Amino acid sequence: MLNKKSKLEPLSDFVFLRFDKTKKTASGIELSDVSKNKPAKAKVLAIGPGRLDRNGNFIKTTLKAGDTVVVNPFLPLEIKVDEEDYLVIRENEIFARI
């Protein structure tokens, strides 16, 4: 789901997201749930393989590219890679999968 040219590969349990733009104004401007100041739906673009717990056990990620999730709209870090904007968050900071 990441840009096909992108060589970006998430590590650990980092998740790359893009907020769903589901609402349009009469003039055609797309608004996301972020503007409503409540948990927002986002699309998973890519996710790392997993992480190690305190005991050294590997915990595999449970999400996959294409999943729709609910997150705190102010928590993800915004980054720009190869002229594309992404949101980055850890898997354990995601509220739910829809």
Q: What is the CATH number of the domain that holds 85?
A: 2.30.33.40
The tokens of 53 are what? 């717990």
Cα separation, 57 vs 38, whole angstroms? 35
Q: How many domains does the chain have?
A: 1
- Asked if residue 82 is part of any domain, the answer here is yes
Give the predicted TM-score (pTM) of the model: 0.78
Low-confidence ranges of the chain (pLDDT < 70): 1-5, 21-26, 28-37
- Asked if residue 7 is part of any domain, the answer here is no
- Asked if residue 6 is part of any domain, the answer here is no
- Asked if residue 9 is part of any domain, the answer here is no
Could you tell me the strand order of the sheet in which 77-81 lies? 77-81, 84-90, 14-19, 40-47, 68-71, 96-97
Query: How much is the pLDDT for 84?
Result: 84
- Asked if residue 60 is part of any domain, the answer here is yes
Query: How much is the pLDDT for 8?
Result: 81
Which residues span the domain enclosing 70?
14-97
Query: How much is the pLDDT for 16?
Result: 94
Task: Spell out the long-range contacts of 72-79 with Cβ–Cβ below 8 A and sequence spacing 24 or more.
Answer: 72/39, 72/40, 73/19, 73/32, 73/33, 73/34, 73/37, 73/38, 73/39, 73/40, 76/17, 76/42
- Asked if residue 20 is part of any domain, the answer here is yes
- Asked if residue 8 is part of any domain, the answer here is no
Mapping DSSP to helix (H, G, I), strand (E, B) and coil, where does residue 91 land? helix
Cα separation, 2 vs 43, whole angstroms? 11
